[in-house]
Amino acid sequence: MASFNKITLIGHLGNDPDVREVNGKKVANFSLATTEKRGNGEEKTEWFRVAFWERTAEIVEKYLKKGSQVFVEGRLSTREYTDKEGKSRTSLEVLGQSLTLLGSASGGSGGGSSYNSGSTASSSFVADTGAQGDDDLPF
């Protein structure tokens, strides 16, 4: 049986994106906070480490900052590293495949721009131009 690995998140950036080059390819990393309200009124926040590569990393660098609200689709991946004490560690990371900008960091409306990263170079940045009026519908 085939397997499936996909995660969908809506949240706010906890920091400005860290953009750098790895083996000649641009990568943007940021922390994403998702907050869930519980029945008793308490809020629980989960933090996710998110990485976008190449063209999408450029979009992240240009348009996102701490507090930006985004919709992210991707897959979970493990990352192994050595901590400051020399111990081997493993962490989960979201490898982003699709990014939608939902609003501004200041909490205003707007955004709605989407970017889907794919394996082809023909991927493009698509902006939502807003809703059409009834007069513009083709039927």
Instruction: Check whether 119 has a pLDDT greater than 50.
Output: no
Give the pair of three-digit tokens for residue 38: 């519980």
Q: What is the CATH number of the domain that holds 92?
A: 2.40.50.140
Instruction: Check whether 110 has a pLDDT greater than 60.
Output: no
Tokens 């450029």, residue located: 58
pLDDT digits (tens, 9 = 90+) for 9-35: 999 999 999 999 999 999 999 999 999
Instruction: Check whether 135 has a pLDDT greater than 50.
Output: no
Domain assignment present for residue 2? The answer is: no
Domain assignment present for residue 86? The answer is: yes
End-to-end alpha-carbon separation of the chain, Å? 44
Instruction: Check whether 104 has a pLDDT greater than 50.
Output: yes
Provide the domain limits for residue 15: 7-119
Instruction: Check whether 134 has a pLDDT greater than 60.
Output: no
pLDDT given for residue 132 in this prediction: 38
pLDDT given for residue 1 in this prediction: 80
H/E stretch holding 56 reads helix 54-63
Domain assignment present for residue 131? The answer is: no
Domain assignment present for residue 138? The answer is: no
Domain assignment present for residue 129? The answer is: no
Domain assignment present for residue 135? The answer is: no
Domain assignment present for residue 85? The answer is: yes
Domain assignment present for residue 130? The answer is: no
Cα 105 from Cα 69, distance rounded (Å): 7
Residue range 84-109: mean pLDDT, rounded: 84
Read off the DSSP letter of residue 93. E
pLDDT given for residue 131 in this prediction: 36
pLDDT digits (tens, 9 = 90+) for 30-80: 999 999 998 898 999 999 999 999 999 999 999 999 999 999 999 999 989
Tokens 């926040």, residue located: 45
Q: What is the count of structural domains for the chain?
A: 1
